[in-house]
Amino acid sequence: MRAQYDVAIVGSGIVGLGAALAATRRGLSVIVIDRSAEILGASVRNFGHLCFTPQSGIARTFAAASRELWLQLAVDAKLEVRRTGTFVVARHLDELEVLGDLAARRAGSQALSSGSEQPEVELLTSAEIEGRVPVAPGSTVGGAHLGLDLQVNPRDAVHTIAAHLAERGVEFLPRTAVTAVRSGRVETTRGIIHAGIVVVAVNADIDQLYPDVAERVGIRRCGLDMLRVNAGLRFPLAGPLLTGWSLLRYSAFTRFPAAGRIRERLHAQHPYLAALDLNQMYTQQPDGSLIVGDTHYRGDAIAPFQDERAAAALLDITAELFGTPRPRVLERWQGVYASGPDEYLIEQVEPGVHLAAATTGIGMTTGLGLAEHVVEFALSSATFSSPSLTQQKEFS
């Protein structure tokens, strides 16, 4: 370990790794500190769904930047990034209406990916979607393919990125809790680390490291129930699959009037699923198993006790969607992320100390772009001197 780093990063999830990548690309010395012995936070517990198309506002900006970075990591880190797109199945006309509205909006908006001729939203007939995803025959009224979305294996992606960064000189300090951060210094359970810039990327644990900020901003914790199942699908899922419930979540869907009607209909028909704050969605893993999710429950603390009725509901609606027997559960887990009134927490709390978190469930999709933005801002506003930071500022 050195006496001084240009950049110290607290947290080795996708946002912390994104910050390390951004700093390393600028030739800076970097240390990443994590209290865990392995990367086991939200960044390995998710679907691996890089869901760029249904984002809007700043999330779309971060999504576009992230997409480029994921594709670059596919080359540089030999990371498996699948160009699957996302499939959205519509089982009711109001769902098709939202997809049609998004297709029209995207046809007229600035492209997510420069140079791509592909439409962002391809509307599909019932026969087309049922030919491409193994849902129960005759159960849909149509659907869409969001062709620019990507998929990664969440169990591998962050480890591959961390190994790539380590090869490029980033130092990792696991099993080391950060207890406090001040301008230029990080206090840890292994002693003090000096750094010109500190990026705090601890997700929901921001409420422990910066309780006042979390309370002021209104950040709470969101717990999610997830399953990995053997679903016995008719044929493999060609990409992540969203349903009508997903149209109530991502910001580019929710702004269309039909989304309000979907909410009313689904909540009236399925009060128990609505109370679970369901997002019925799926990704298939390389071994053929299916990640199934998810429920959402919020609080200042998240109890670890997962109600089996929620899992049973997820299995029942999965069997119904695919027209299969109830799937066999291979694994169950709980994930937790920071949940706030806005989609991000981006704040410089002291000179050179920057907080970065996705405060809704889009951190895998947008976290690399968020981190790039925060590091860029940190460098442009740095007021202290460090040999490489000074050099970086001179060249920028």
CB of 154 to ligand FAD, least distance (A): 7
Say whether residue 355 binds ligand FAD (CB under 6 A): no
| Binding segment (CB under 6 A) for ligand FAD, from list 75-83, 84-92, 116-124, 355-363 | 355-363
What's the rounded Cα separation, in Å, for the pair 25 and 35? 25
Stretch that binds ligand FAD, among 13-21, 126-134, 317-325, 384-392 (CB under 6 A): 13-21
Question: Which one-letter amino acid corresponds to residue 300?
Answer: D
Binding of ligand FAD at residue 357 (CB under 6 A)?
yes
Backbone angles phi, psi at 128, to 5 degrees: -65, -50
Structure tokens at 308: 């089996």
Q: Which is nearer to ligand FAD, 96 or 231 (CB)?
A: 231
145 in contact with ligand FAD (CB under 6 A) = no
Beta-carbon contacts of 125 under 8 Å, excluding residues fewer than 6 positions away, are: 142
Q: Does 56 bind ligand FAD (CB under 6 A)?
A: no
**Binding status of residue 41 toward ligand FAD by CB under 6 A:** yes
Closer to ligand FAD by Cβ: residue 46 or 53:
46
- Nearest distance in Å: CB 284, ligand FAD: 13
Indicate the DSSP class of residue 43: H
49 φ, ψ to 5°? -95, 115
The binding track of 169-198 with respect to ligand FAD, each residue x by CB under 6 A or -, is: --------xx--------------------
Sign of CA pseudo-dihedral 329, 335, 341, 343: negative
167 phi and psi angles, rounded to 5 deg: -60, -30
Q: Exactly one of 207, 367, 375, 379 binds ligand FAD (CB under 6 A); which one?
A: 367
For position 23 contacting ligand FAD by CB under 6 A, the verdict is: no
| Strand, coil or helix: 264 | helix
Is 149 a binding residue for ligand FAD by CB under 6 A? The answer is: no
Residue type, 361: G
Residue the block writes with tokens 């399953």? 227
Nearest position to ligand FAD, beta carbon? 363
For position 91 contacting ligand FAD by CB under 6 A, the verdict is no
Question: 243 in helix, strand or coil?
Answer: coil
- Which has the closest alpha carbon to 254: 125, 113, 360? 360
Question: In this structure, what DSSP letter does residue 248 have?
Answer: G
7, 8, 9, 10: which one binds ligand FAD (CB under 6 A): 10
What count of residues does the chain have?
396
User: Which residues form the interface with ligand FAD (CB under 6 A)?
Assistant: 10-16, 33-36, 39, 41-43, 45-47, 49, 51, 177-178, 201-203, 205, 209, 224, 226, 294, 335-337, 357-358, 361-365, 367
